[in-house]
Amino acid sequence: MENRFNRLLAAASIDLTNEQKQRLLGYVTLLDKWNKAYNLTSVRDPQEMLVRHVMDSIVVNPHLSGTQFIDVGTGPGLPGIPLAIVRPDSKFTLLDSLGKRIRFIRQVVHELGLTNVTPIQSRVEEYSIPEGFDGVISRAFASLGDMLTWCHHLPKTGGRFYALKGIISNEELSQVPEGFFVKNVVELNVPELEGERHLVVVEAKK
């Protein structure tokens, strides 16, 4: 698996330390182990997890601004844990309403020694921090309109929303609520992943 991971990283022009690689591979090992009992992801093959979960998450890193992020509807920690590993100087709050997912994330944080991840079990509407976040990230969480409606209170002034999407339609982009605008739509390159991947960056109007 390590050889394949190195090939994927090279194909995506991503340069990581050996420690970061080992932590990401360790995350896949833990996800595979827990998945058998807790059904955390529909992806069963660890080799596929490398592509569809780890690579799909870390290709977003160059497009993030700031140091304080929240991953809403994080599930088993995606994209928050891979991003926290490749972005050690940033802090990530991982939010999910399901206890089994948060228990898994706590175990990952403990076993991998991640000091920049805070798992929180809560509904997104009921959670906030006084200072706000630089970035609100979601992956397969909701439609763009719903994400902005439910998470509008989370970013600080000038903070951004980052929605990881597959195919992105003009219809979905046009349904951005009043008070927001789409700043950018980035086509993401995920080696060996079938289908399109996009990152939609949204800001609040000043």
Q: Is 78 labelled a binding residue?
A: yes
d(Cα 147, Cα 138) in Å, to the nearest integer? 8
3-state secondary structure of 202: strand
The set of residues, in sequence order, having a beta carbon less than 8 Å from that of 197 and lying 6+ positions away, is 56, 59, 164, 165, 166, 187, 188, 189, 190
3-state secondary structure of 194: coil
Q: Which residues pair with 135 in a beta bridge?
A: 69, 160
Q: Is 125 labelled a binding residue?
A: yes
Query: Rounded to the nearest 5°, which phi and psi values hold at 32?
Result: -65, -45
Q: Is 131 labelled a binding residue?
A: no
Q: Is 40 labelled a binding residue?
A: no
Chain centroid, CA 41 distance in Å: 14
Q: Is 159 labelled a binding residue?
A: no
d(Cα 168, Cα 165) in Å, to the nearest integer? 6
Known binding positions: 73, 78, 124-125, 139
> Binding site residues for S-adenosyl-L-methionine, as ranges?
73, 78, 124-125, 139
